[in-house]
Amino acid sequence: MNNLPNTPLLQAQQVSKTYPDGEVRALNEVDLAIDHGDYVALMGPSGSGKSTLLNLFGALDVPTSGDIIFEGQPLSQIDNLDRFRSEKIGFVFQSFHLLPVLTAMENVQIPMFETSLAAARRVERSHELLGAVGMGHRATHLPRQLSVGERQRVAIARALANGPPLLLADEPTGNLDTANALAILDLFDELRRERPLTIIMVTHDEQLAHRAERIVRLRDGQIVDDGLARARS
C-alpha cells in the first residue's frame, strides 16, 4: 500500500439518491472519501442507504444529485460505465450470484469476456484466481456441487478476474456460518496483502465489521459515524 497517489480512490460528493417509485430519499447529501488500500465496513440498519451507496460506488446506479469520483474522474463523465465496472470494480454478493449452469472456472471467466484476453489466457487466469482463493481443485465443479463457503470463494475469484483496484462486497458473509464467514474475511486480508486492493464491505455484523480498518455507519441516508474520521479528529 506504499507509494499510493494522494487522490482518494473513491469519493462521494454531496450524493443523494431518491428512488422514482416513492419519495424515499435513500441517501441524503453524503460525502465520503475512500483512499487506495482502505478496508471499509459500511454498517447501518436496514434502509439506512448502505447498499444504495455501494451500488452508486459500483456504477450500478446513478445518484439523483451529487457525483461519485473515481481516481479523480466523476463517474457522470464516463461514457462507458460497463467497461468501467469490468475493469475497475469487483462485486461480491451475499447470495454469491454464480451462474448455475457454468463451472467454477467458467463463472470466473465471465468478466473477462469484456477484455481482449484470448480464450486460452482466460482459462489460465481463471485457474490462477481459483488457486488464489483456495479453489483450484474445484475448478470444474458446478455451483450446486460446492459448499456455500466454496461458492463465495469462487465469487471472490470472479470479482478479481480483471484485477480491479476496488472490491465491493454486499453482505459477503450473510449466508455463511461463522467459520466460513471468518475464512472469507481471512481471504480478504490475504488478498489485500498480495495486491493493491481496496475493499468496501456492507455488513450487519459488528464483530465482522471490526475486521475492517474503518467503519462507516449510516442512518436514514446519512453518515452518522466514520471510524477513520473519529480516529483522526
Partner 1 sequence: MLRRPVRSLLTVTGVGLAVGAVVSLVGIASGFERSFVDLYARRGVDLVVVRSGVTERLTSALTESLGERIARTPGVRSVTPVLMDVVSFEDLDLFGVVVQGLKHDALALADLKIDAGRVLAAGDRQRVILGAMLARNLGKSVGQAVEILEGEPFEVVGIFESYNVFENGAMIVLLDELQRLMDREDQVTAFNVRAAGLADRAAIERLAAAIEQVAPGLQAMPTEDYVNTDSKIRVARSMAWLTSTIALVLGTVGVLNTMIMSVFERTREIGILRAMGWRKSRVMKMILWESVLLSLAGAVIGTVLALVGTRFLSRLPSASGIVDGGIAPMIVVQGFLIALVVGLLGGAYPARRGARMLPTEALHHE
- SS3 (DSSP) at 125: helix
2-10, 63-71, 92-100, 205-213 -> range binding partner 1 (CB under 8 A)? 92-100
Closer residue to partner 1, CB minimum distance, 57 or 214: 57
Q: How many residues does the chain have?
A: 233
CA distances from 221 to 39, 53, 64, 79 (A): 21, 9, 13, 28
Does 86 help bind partner 1 (rule: CB under 8 A)? Answer: yes
Phi, psi at 14, each rounded to 5°: 50, 45
194 by Cβ neighbours in 10 Å (0-12 / 13-18 / 19+) ranks as exposed
Closest CA to 36 of 225, 150, 174, 195: 195
For residue 158, state whether it binds partner 1 (rule: CB under 8 A).
Answer: yes
221 contacts partner 1 (rule: CB under 8 A): no
The residue among 49 and 58 lying less far from partner 1, judged by its C-beta, is: 58
Neighbouring residues of 178: CB distance < 8 A, sequence distance ≥ 6: none
Residue 200 near residue 168 (C-beta atoms within 8 A): yes
d(CA 56, CA 232): 26
Locate 160 and state its grid cell. Answer: 478479481
**87 belongs to the binding site for partner 1 (CB under 8 A):** yes
| Least CB distance to partner 1 at residue 172 (A) | 14
In the list 33, 60, 142, 182, the residue contacting partner 1 (rule: CB under 8 A) is 60
* Residue with Cβ nearer partner 1 (2 or 22): 22
Task: Out of 39, 57, 70, 91, point to the residue binding partner 1 (CB under 8 A).
Answer: 91
Q: How far is the CB of 135 from partner 1 (least distance, A)?
A: 18
Q: Is 71 in the site for partner 1 (CB under 8 A)?
A: no
Binding flag, residue 113, partner 1 (CB under 8 A): yes
Minimum gap (Å) between residue 90 Cβ and partner 1: 9
Distance between CA atoms of residues 160 and 165, nearest Å = 9
Judged by CB under 8 A, does residue 213 bind partner 1? no
Contact positions toward partner 1, by CB under 8 A? 55, 58, 60-61, 80, 82-87, 89, 91, 93, 97, 99-101, 110-111, 113-114, 158, 161-162
